């Protein structure tokens, strides 16, 4: 308590937008981060593809009919979307804005294309501009990324070549993110993500006007 003033603790949460090439270890890093911060929410995307075995609506994805997706698209309900082959994928604005308005932090694991759409949305949405942070996860080198992809033994040589080509394209976008984390040593990279999350929680742009109010 500051003498003569009331300290308010209400704040906006942070929408953490994370991208990185296939094989960089996003899922492993984010799972480790969430073990340290169980309250960290993850955004659920929408898709028009049918559920796969073991997938649940509202947990893994929101599974929408194409007509429903297109209706919401016309209503500008998505902060980003893409057509992948014959199916739509997208993130509803509410998946980011509802948590941050409640003071919660939410993480969005998304490709570069989607992240750049959210970047563009910042120009139109003040709330997004106040709450979004962009982190790019990168491998120490393309050679190391190739080694990791081959060690997974889940892709053919042709698929690995395609993933590496895509990775080169995506790596060119790292300067358009706010922060760069290199996943060379897993625990060190998780430490860096945790430090960033703690810093985001102290950002002045997310504190309410009149944070220190006269009694």
Rounded Cα gap, residues 86 and 72, in angstroms: 18
Q: Which of 17, 36, 6, 10 is nearest to 116 (CA)?
A: 17
What tens digit of pLDDT does each residue of 107-123 get? 999 999 999 999 999 99
Mean of the per-residue pLDDT values for the chain?
89
Is residue 150 within 8 A of residue 142, CB to CB? The reply is: no
- The predicted pLDDT at position 1 comes to 36
Contacts of 30 (CB under 8 A, 6+ apart): 18, 42, 107, 109
User: What single-letter DSSP state applies at residue 79?
Assistant: E
- The predicted pLDDT at position 214 comes to 54
Rounded Cα gap, residues 33 and 46, in angstroms: 24
Q: Which of 138, 127, 182 is nearest to 19 (CA)?
A: 138
Residue ranges of domains in the chain, CATH in brackets: 5-43+104-202 (3.40.50.300)
Is residue 19 within 8 A of residue 119, CB to CB? The reply is: no
Is residue 26 within 8 A of residue 71, CB to CB? The reply is: no
Q: At what angle do helices 142-152 and 157-171 cross, to 10 degrees?
A: 150
What tens digit of pLDDT does each residue of 171-188 get? 999 999 999 999 999 999
| 50 three-state secondary structure | coil
- Residue stretches of the chain with pLDDT short of 70: 1-9, 214-215
Give this prediction's pTM: 0.87
- The predicted pLDDT at position 101 comes to 92
Is residue 205 within 8 A of residue 148, CB to CB? The reply is: no
Distances (CA, A) of 21 to 38, 135, 139, 199, 202: 25, 12, 8, 25, 29
């Amino acid at each position: 308590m500051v003498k003569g003033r009331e300290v308010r603790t209400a704040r906006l949460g942070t929408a953490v937008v994370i991208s990185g090439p296939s094989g960089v270890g996003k899922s492993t890093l984010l799972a480790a981060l969430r073990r340290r911060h169980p309250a960290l929410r993850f955004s659920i995307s929408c898709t028009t593809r049918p559920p796969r075995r073991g997938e649940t609506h509202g947990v893994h994805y929101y599974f929408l009919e194409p007509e429903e997706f297109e209706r919401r698209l016309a209503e500008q309900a998505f902060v980003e979307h893409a057509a992948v082959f014959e199916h739509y994928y997208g993130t509803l604005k509410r998946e980011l804005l509802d948590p941050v308005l409640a003071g919660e932090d939410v993480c969005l694991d998304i490709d570069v294309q989607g992240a750049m759409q959210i970047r563009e949305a910042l120009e139109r949405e003040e709330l997004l501009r106040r709450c979004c942070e962009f982190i790019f996860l990168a491998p120490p080198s393309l050679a190391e990324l190739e080694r990791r992809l081959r060690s997974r033994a889940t892709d053919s040589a042709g698929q690995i070549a395609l993933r590496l080509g895509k990775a080169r394209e995506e790596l060119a976008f790292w300067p358009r993110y706010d922060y760069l984390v290199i996943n060379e040593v897993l625990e060190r990279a998780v430490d860096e993500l945790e430090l960033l999350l703690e810093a985001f929680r102290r950002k002045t742009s997310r504190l309410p006007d009149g944070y220190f109010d006269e009694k």
